[in-house]
A and B are shown apart, each in its own frame.
Chain A
Amino acid sequence: MNAIEFKYITKRFGDLTANYNVSFAVRKNSVHCLIGENGAGKSTLMKILFGIYKPDSGIIKINNVEKSFDSPLDAIKSNIGMLHQHFMLIEDFTILENVILGSEVTIKYKIDFEWSEKTLNNFNDKYNLGLNLEQKISEISISEQQKVEILKLLYRNSEILIFDEPTAVLSPVEVKEFYKIIEKFKDEGKTIILITHKLHEVKEIADRVTVLRRGEVVYETEKENLDINILSRKIVGDVILKNDISKETVMINQEDSVIKLSNITLRKNGHDILNKLNLSLHNGEIYGVCGVEGNGQSELVDLIFGLEKKFSGYLEKNTNKISLVPDDRLKKGMIKEFTIGENLILKDKNKLNITKKYLTGLTDEVINNFDVRVPENSVIMKLLSGGNQQKVIFAREIELNNDVLIFSHPTRGVDINATAFIHSKIIEQRNAGKAVLLISSDLDELLSLSDKFGVIYKGTLVKEFSSELENIQNETMKNKLLEKIGKLMIGISVE
């Protein structure tokens, strides 16, 4: 039986067709993966299912009954829940308030806090979420925020669950935990639609896969016939980009660091967020940092960038020309209501006279060079698809031509071709003699790009690798290294 059926769904935004004649079915009690390039229309289709957008034409059937949703309220009433690509949380509310909002249980007029707390804590235990309900969203990490979103779905007892790129923000360990939760959902008979750019995840979890390309369904397959190579070709339409730039030897003098951190300690609310950390960045070198989120990565970035000043230890900066692609693109990387062009010139201090023509030219250049998919040149950032927003921010930081580049999760939410493109750009920068700090939760990305590589745990770089990285073409060596790194990341020391 089908839980959901899309029939001939078409949705246009002005001249842009985000979905065209989309038809496919999602079996009840299955995990259905929806994949495709940045801007292929995945999020749009899910927003239609959730009642945020109305399709221009086409129908949706839920459990074989035709439904037309005017608002998320209607979708929620049909037991549909959605975890959005960009979280829908209220920073100043507690976790508990965020979860019960809209579906509060009351005694007379008063919210039954006691009951709510008990119910939520039950879910908390059952699914191992480990949340403290009294904390405010502004105080918790991104992966915890995602768990709050999951708790929202659980609390509403949704039968059909939509996950829009849930794993983009998670570290490998957390991804595993997340898929355990998904398995549990399936065991309980729920139906799951999942969007992701990571094909090995698809291979592992999917019962059926649908590929969207430029708004249309181009391929569909069952678990049995699932082949990652075919999938990636279907996603991009046969031309798979490879990271074709190789590292050139850049002469580096290990004595001359561009940025050097010695014995840096940073205390916040009585905790050592960074703890006697040592790190130096050199020209022509990519330094990779990996670790479970919340071990000091974002503070490290803030400190080098100059946003964090209350630390002890010694920080030597031989340049102030630093580019940053931040971890939270929506909050730290852009102004949502500004156009692409306006976001691109945000950091340009020298340009005084900004004309419309200049902005349009700049936008066109970036759109062409970085293959940004947009409905129109003058669109505001908010209306770009997640991966395309990332490309714009990345483009801006590269074009600044700074001495040091910090990339925090540069390929978060970016499709395979764009990932290859971004990787080649990063190497290009390195080859041009720039110092690069790369923070990522994608180990493959880190291993293939880094010249040096450190594992961060509780605010300390517990181990640094460099020569080991030369042998990663060798599978067994690589697996050995990965195993080591995995242990280090959770605080187990290795020799």
Chain B
Amino acid sequence: MNIIVSILSLTFFAQVLRLFTPYFLGANAANFSERAGVINIAIEGFMITSALGYALFTYLTNNIFLGFVCAILVNLLFSLLYALFVIKLKINQIVAGVGFNLLMAGLAKFLIVFIFQSSSNTPRIPDLPNIPYIQDIPYVGEVLSDYIILFSFALIFISNFVLFKTKFGLRLRSAGENPEAGESLGIKIRLYKLYGVLICGFLSALGGIWLASNQNSFSDGMVAGRGYIALAAMIIGKWKPVNILFACIMFAFFEALEITFQISGTFIPSQIIQMLPYLITILVLIGFIGKTKPPASDGIPY
């Protein structure tokens, strides 16, 4: 009974939104890259670097805005490096992705020990500002006045519009589908692949920044596999922004459910409840989604 009440509550709704945001940003990030034909499984790593970047630079400069900008720059730099490896040097994208993930996680661990002499986290940093007035609404004010959450709402429309209604999107997608055909029409395929990777870096940075801001620090392991869930959401969403939205809501909903269960305590063992989001994913994959088809030239160097 209790549980049903808490699920229907606004707090639960706010919780779902909070969980949804990093997934959706990560999934859209990955989608822009893959639509341009570049697999980027290092979303996890990119979220880590930007979360740390935000915490670190906010702490050092004592300025949230500078921290924000620096975190994004950090990710764009790493994206350029990734692009250099996979687009220019044509290194296998899975190998490069795994490499980046390991590198970024290790680097973050090293830096917090090196700079803060702490084994696990940075000192406390302030929140990103919220929109005034809206934040005073009870229960949901906090999430609805969050710029990044609001941006991720807008992203549903932005992604769809950019990918399917603009010249830029059409060309980007041609790079992911059949680069030879695009090239024969005079499109600079590699440039569009680079754009895809950079947009990916930017969006995943927002995800990382949001996590750090929400937790008021960076701590080791805080991204906790969200980058991988984001990839799963992209695949379940069949590389389409609207479907990705539903996939992310699904993940967020079941995770919120899991948290609610754990807080209120039930007879069901917690391990089983923790399995819930993943179990559901597998069931949904088998039952409803059917075959998912990536862009035809996804992951193939050009």
Contacts and interface: CB of A to CB of B under 8 A. Distances in A.
Contact of B178 (A88, A109, A111): A88
Contacts of A93: 173-174, 177
A111 B178 CA distance: 20
A101 B166 contact: no
B142 interface: no
A106 B167 CA distance: 7
A68 B173 CA distance: 29
Contacts of B177: 90-93
B127 interface: no
Contacts, number: 71
A73 B170 CA distance: 17
A104 B167 contact: yes
A89 interface: yes
Interface in B20-34: none
B186 to A, nearest CB: 3
A84 B166 CA distance: 27
Contacts of B187: 73, 101-102
Interface string B178-209: 10111111111000000000000000000000
Chain A interface size, as a band, is 20 to 34
Given A92-B295, A93-B174, A111 B185 contact: no
B226 to A, nearest CB: 29
A72 B184 contact: yes
Contacts of A97: 170
A363 B92 CA distance: 30
Interface string B146-190: 000000000000000100011110110110011011111111100
B181 A106 contact: no
A111 B165 contact: yes
B296 interface: yes
A52 interface: yes
Contacts of B170: 97, 100-101, 104, 111
Interface residues of B, number: 22
A266 B186 CA distance: 42
Interface string B274-302: 00000000000000000000011000000
Given A71-B186, A93-B177, A111 B295 contact: no
A101 B185 contact: yes
A93 B185 CA distance: 15
Interface string B234-271: 00000000000000000000000000000000000000
Nearest to B168: A109
B170 to A, nearest CB: 6
Interface in A49-103: 50, 52, 71-73, 76-77, 82, 84, 88-93, 97-98, 100-103
In this complex, the member of A73, A101, A110, A113 whose beta carbon has the largest number of chain B beta carbons within 10 angstroms is: A101
A72 B165 contact: no
B186 A88 contact: no
A101 B171 contact: yes
Contact of B166 (A52, A91, A106): A106
B178 A72 contact: no
A90 B181 contact: yes
Contacts of B180: 88
B184 A88 contact: yes
A101 B182 CA distance: 7
Contacts of B183: 71-72
A82 B184 contact: yes
Given A90-B178, A93-B177, A103 B185 contact: yes
Nearest to B181: A88
Contacts of A104: 167, 170
A104 B174 CA distance: 13
A102 B296 contact: no
Nearest to A77: B186
A90 B184 CA distance: 12
A92 B296 contact: yes
Given A90-B174, A102-B174, A111-B170, 19 more contacts: A72-B183, A73-B186, A76-B186, A77-B186, A88-B185, A89-B178, A90-B177, A90-B182, A91-B177, A91-B178, A92-B177, A98-B181, A100-B170, A101-B187, A102-B182, A104-B170, A109-B167, A111-B165, A152-B185
7 contacts: A88-B178, A88-B181, A89-B178, A93-B173, A101-B171, A111-B167, A113-B165
Listed from nearest, the 3 A-B pairs whose CB atoms lie closest are A102-B185, A73-B186, A88-B181
Interface of A: 50, 52, 71-73, 76-77, 82, 84, 88-93, 97-98, 100-104, 106, 109-111, 113, 152
Interface of B: 161, 165-168, 170-171, 173-174, 177-178, 180-188, 295-296
